[in-house]
Structure 1
Amino acid sequence: MIIILPSFGFICFQTTSLTLGLTLACLIIIVINVANFKCKMSLILFILALLSITISYGLISFFKFGYTKSILSVIPLTLMVLSAYLMSVEMNKIGFASTKFIFLTIFNILLIFGWLSIFYRFPYCNYHLLVKPVFPFSEPSHFALALNIFILPIVLISGFKTSLYVLFNSFLLSLLLPSLTLLFSSALAFLFFVRKYLSTGQTFLSLPLIFYILSLLLFNIPHYKERISPLFDLINIYDVDNTFNLSAIVYLQGWEFILLNMNKNYGLGLGFQMLGSSETELGYYSYILEKISLKIPNLENGSFIASKLISEFGIIGLLLTVYYIIWFIKFFLFLEKNPKILLYKGIIAGFVIDLFIRGLGYFNPQVFFFLLAIFVLYLSKRIKFLV
C-alpha cells in the first residue's frame, strides 16, 4: 500500500506530487495501528525536535515571505513519521524469517510489474497519457527507486543463489526498461555482494574491475551514454548545436542549487519546502533548462534529496549529509552480523541512491522506509544516539 498508493494516486488523480497518496496511506496505517501506540520519552523528544525544526523554518517562511507550503507540509511530515513508527513497532515484533519473506514477496511483486511493463502498457486511469509508465509508477526511475528499497537489504541477508537472482533481474531490467537509476542501484547492491564474500582488502582490490565493468555499460549503451557523457563534457551541454540531455542538466542543476542556496539566511538555507519558491536562486543550468523546455523541471525536488536538504536547511542539511556519508562508509567496511539488523541498515544504506542520484522530495515511500528502518533499529537498541 505504502509503495503503490502514492504513485497510483499521483497518476490516476493527476496530483502535483506523491504527497496526497502517501498521506492517505499513512492515515490508513495510523488508524489500523493507533490502538497499540506506545512510545519512549527519548523517541518522543527526537520526533518533537524534528517537528520543531521544520515548524520553525515554516514560520519563518510564512512571516517573512508569506509562503504557506512550509507550514502545511508539517501535516504530511507528522503523519509519515508517526505511521513509520507504528509500522516499525509491528515489524520489530515479527521474526527475521517472516520479515525476509515479506521483503522478498514485495520485491517479486514489483519485479512482475517491471517485466510486464516491457510487454504490456496499462491503458486505464491516465497511464495511456504517459511516455514510459511502469504500472503503477509514472516512469522507470520511479519504479527503480521503489525497487531500490528492497534490492540491497535482500542481497545482504540472502544466500548466494537468491542474491544472484535479485542482481540478475535488477541489472537486466535496468537495461531493458531502461533505467540509469536502477543500474546504479544494482551496481551498489553488487558492490555490497562482493563485500559480503570478500575481505575489506580484497573488496578494494576488486573495485577497479567493478568500476571498469560499470563504465563499459555507461559509455557503450546509448540510453546511459547520453545521460552520463554531458557530466564529463560540459562544453557539449552549452553548445546549442548539440543535442541536449535534460536528465544530465537537471542533475547538474541539483548541485548548482546547493552552491547557490545553502548560504541563504545566514547559512540556514532557504527553509523547509522553500526550494522552487521565488526565493530560490537560479543558476546557469536552470536558465538552460528553461530555454530548452520552456520550464524548469524538478525545481521543487532538486533532482536528488541531498540537493533539496542542503538547499533548504543550509549547514544543518550539510552536516546531516556528511554524517550519513561517514555512517555509510563505516557500514560498508564493517558489515553487521545480525541478519535482522543488517536488513534494516541495508535500507538506510540503499537510501544513498535517493540522496545523491535520484530523489522525489521528502514525501515518498523511500523516505518512509528510511524512517521505518531507523525506528526499528531504535527499538532494537541499535541506534545509540537516540537511546
Structure 2
Amino acid sequence: MKSQPAGESCLHPAPRTVPIRGLLLLVLFFPALLFYGKLASSTALGTALVACVAIVVCSIFDPPIRFRAQAGKVIAITVAVILAHLAVAAVFTPIDFGRAFGSLFILCLCLAGSAALADLLATVAKDDLLKVARLCMGAFWLIGLLGCLGWAQIAGGDYSKSVFPFTEPSQLGITLAPILIFACVTSAGTRRLFYICSFFAFAVVLQNVTLIVTCLIATAVCIRLRYVLVLLALLIPMLLKADLGYYLDRLDFSDQNQNLSALVFVQGWQFIGEAWARTHGLGYGFQQLGTTESNSAAGQLIYALIGFDLNVFDGGFNFSKLVSEGGLLGLLLGVIYTIKAATALVFLRRVARGRRDADVLATFSASMIAGYLLEMFIRGQGYFSPAGLLLMTSIWMRQSAKAQTLRCSDAA
C-alpha cells in the first residue's frame, strides 16, 4: 500500500483539484480592489463576496471534511449573543439597528464562507499549499515594487500614497502579514532573508510604519541571530538615507504631536475609555462605534487640523473597536485572541528553528492568527477584511486538523 503524502486528508481525497490558488488570491486582493476602485466604502463588501465565492466553490467540489455542518450552530449562537448585547446596550446609548443588522448579515456570510474555505484548504496537499503561498508572495512582491517605482498607481486625490490595489501602504502591510509569516516559516534561510529584506526595503521607500512592523514580526519569528546581523548590515545604509523624523513623528504619542497617524492611534485608546464611561463597561453594541458623537481630545485635534473626522467607525485599530463596542465581552475576546496569538508566535518560532515538526495546515493556521496582530493593535480595517476572513478560517482549520488527527489515530 502506498503511503499517503503529508498534509492530505486521511479520509477521502477530493474528487477534483480545488482551485485554491485563485481562491486565496481572491481573498487577499479582491476586497482591496473594490475599495480602490471606489465601488465600496470599505473592504466589507469585497470580503462578503469572497465568502460567497468560497461557499459556492465548496458546494461544487464537496470536500470530505465537513465543518460547514457546524457553521449553522456557530452562526446561531453568535447572532443570539450579539442581539442580546445590542438590547442591553440600547439602555445606555441609541442603536442604529439598520447598520447593526446589515453588518450582522455580512458576519454570517463570513462565518459560513470561512468554514467553507477551511474545508477546502484541508483537502490541499502540503506541496500545493506551499506553492500557493509562494505565488501570493510573488504577487505581493510585484505590488510592492510597482508601488516603490510609482507605476500603475493613482496619483493625487484620495490615493496620493496608493500601492495598487491597496489605497495606502498600511493596507498592504496588514494584508501581507499572515502570508509573509507563513512563507518565511516554511522557507529556507536564503529565501526568508530575501522576503524580509525586500519588504523592509519597500517599507523604507514607501515610508510606512505598519509595513515595517510586519517585517519585524516575521523577523522575530523566523530569523536566527546571525541572520539578523546580516539583515542589519543590509538595511542600515537604507535607514541612514531615510527620513527618520517621519517615523519618529508616528511614534510620538504626546499631546504636542500633530501627526495624524499618531493622533488616530491615541484616539482609538480614548474611544475605549469614552465608551466604558458612557455605558458602564457594556460597550456601544455591534458596529455602533462612530454612530454617536465623540468628545475625545485626539479626535477634536484631528478635526481642528483637517476639518473632518478620521477612523471614527473602525477605531483606528480593531482592539479599540472590539472593546468600545463589546465592553467587557469585547475585552475578554481581545485577551483570548492575544493569548492565542502569543502561543501561535511561540509555535511558529519553534517550527522555523526546526525544533518542532508541524503539519503545514497547522503552520498556516498559526500564521493567520499571528498575522492578525497588525489589524488588532496597529492599523485596523474593521471586522470584515481579508486578514479577518483568514483569521476566521484559521479557527476552523485548527478544529479540522484536530479532528483529522483523531480520525487518523482511530483508523490506525
Alignment of 1:27-66 (within 5 A): 27-35=52-60, 36=62, 38-39=66-67, 44-58=72-86, 65=94
Q: 2:218 aligns with which of 189, 192, 196?
A: 189
Which residue does the alignment assign to 2:297? 284
- The separation in 1 between residues aligned to 2:156 and 2:358, in whole angstroms, is 42
Q: 1:227 aligns with which of 233, 250, 255?
A: 250
Q: 1:299 aligns with which of 312, 317, 327?
A: 312
Which residue does the alignment assign to 2:8? none
Contact 1:113 1:134 in 2 (8 A): yes
Which residue does the alignment assign to 1:330? 343
Contact 1:152 1:346 in 2 (8 A): yes
- The separation in 2 between residues aligned to 1:148 and 1:40, in whole angstroms, is 27
How far residue 309 of structure 1 moved from its aligned partner, in angstroms, is: 0.3
Gapped regions of structure 2 (runs ≥ 5) = 1-25, 352-356, 406-412
How far residue 284 of structure 1 moved from its aligned partner, in angstroms, is: 0.7
Q: Relative to structure 1, is the Cα distance of residues 81 and 20 closer, same or farther in structure 2, using a 3 angstrom cutoff?
A: same
Identity %: 23
Alignment of 1:123-138 (within 5 A): 130-138=159-167
How far residue 272 of structure 1 moved from its aligned partner, in angstroms, is: 0.3
- The separation in 2 between residues aligned to 1:6 and 1:86, in whole angstroms, is 18
TM-score by length of 2: 0.79
Q: How many residues align?
A: 362
Q: Relative to structure 1, is the Cα distance of residues 6 and 330 closer, same or farther in structure 2, using a 3 angstrom cutoff?
A: closer
- The separation in 2 between residues aligned to 1:22 and 1:43, in whole angstroms, is 18
Q: 2:131 aligns with which of 97, 101, 122?
A: 101
How far residue 112 of structure 1 moved from its aligned partner, in angstroms, is: 0.2
Q: 2:401 aligns with which of 380, 384, 387?
A: 380
Q: Relative to structure 1, is the Cα distance of residues 151 and 383 closer, same or farther in structure 2, using a 3 angstrom cutoff?
A: farther
- The separation in 1 between residues aligned to 2:40 and 2:249, in whole angstroms, is 30
Which residue does the alignment assign to 2:116? 86
In the alignment, residue 131 of structure 1 is paired with which amino acid? S
In the alignment, residue 106 of structure 1 is paired with which amino acid? C
Which residue does the alignment assign to 1:139? 168
Post-superposition Cα deviations, 1:263-310, rounded to whole Å, max 9, x if no partner, equal: 5434221100000011x5431111111111111100000011100001
Post-superposition Cα deviations, 1:176-225, rounded to whole Å, max 9, x if no partner, equal: 1121101001001101114xx57xxx9xxx9xx99xx99x9699623312
Contact 1:70 1:274 in 2 (8 A): yes
Which residue does the alignment assign to 2:354? none
Q: Relative to structure 1, is the Cα distance of residues 236 and 266 closer, same or farther in structure 2, using a 3 angstrom cutoff?
A: closer
Contact 2:318 2:376 in 1 (8 A): yes
In the alignment, residue 395 of structure 2 is paired with which amino acid? I
How far residue 61 of structure 1 moved from its aligned partner, in angstroms, is: 6.5
- The separation in 1 between residues aligned to 2:290 and 2:114, in whole angstroms, is 27
Between 1:51-60 and 1:269-278, the stretch displaced more is 51-60
Between 1:306-315 and 1:34-43, the stretch displaced more is 34-43
- The separation in 2 between residues aligned to 1:267 and 1:382, in whole angstroms, is 37
Post-superposition Cα deviations, 1:47-95, rounded to whole Å, max 9, x if no partner, equal: 3222322233455678973512011111111111111111110101111
In the alignment, residue 370 of structure 2 is paired with which amino acid? A
Post-superposition Cα deviations, 1:322-368, rounded to whole Å, max 9, x if no partner, equal: 12222233333454531411222011011111111111001110101
Q: Relative to structure 1, is the Cα distance of residues 217 and 370 closer, same or farther in structure 2, using a 3 angstrom cutoff?
A: farther
Contact 2:71 2:112 in 1 (8 A): no
How far residue 44 of structure 1 moved from its aligned partner, in angstroms, is: 4.1
Which residue does the alignment assign to 1:241? none
Between 1:130-139 and 1:55-64, the stretch displaced more is 55-64
Q: Relative to structure 1, is the Cα distance of residues 380 and 127 closer, same or farther in structure 2, using a 3 angstrom cutoff?
A: farther
- The separation in 1 between residues aligned to 2:196 and 2:153, in whole angstroms, is 30
- The separation in 1 between residues aligned to 2:220 and 2:324, in whole angstroms, is 30
Which residue does the alignment assign to 2:408? none
Q: Relative to structure 1, is the Cα distance of residues 226 and 133 closer, same or farther in structure 2, using a 3 angstrom cutoff?
A: same
> Is 1:25 the equivalent of 2:50?
yes
- The separation in 2 between residues aligned to 1:302 and 1:217, in whole angstroms, is 31
Q: Relative to structure 1, is the Cα distance of residues 192 and 361 closer, same or farther in structure 2, using a 3 angstrom cutoff?
A: same
Which residue does the alignment assign to 1:117? 147
In the alignment, residue 236 of structure 1 is paired with which amino acid? Q
Which residue does the alignment assign to 2:31? 6
Contact 1:7 1:137 in 2 (8 A): yes
Gapped regions of structure 1 (runs ≥ 5) = 238-243
TM-score by length of 1: 0.84
How far residue 120 of structure 1 moved from its aligned partner, in angstroms, is: 3.6
Contact 1:88 1:376 in 2 (8 A): yes
Q: Relative to structure 1, is the Cα distance of residues 245 and 40 closer, same or farther in structure 2, using a 3 angstrom cutoff?
A: closer
Contact 1:267 1:314 in 2 (8 A): yes
Which residue does the alignment assign to 1:349? 370
Contact 1:263 1:314 in 2 (8 A): no
Contact 2:43 2:385 in 1 (8 A): yes
How far residue 383 of structure 1 moved from its aligned partner, in angstroms, is: 12
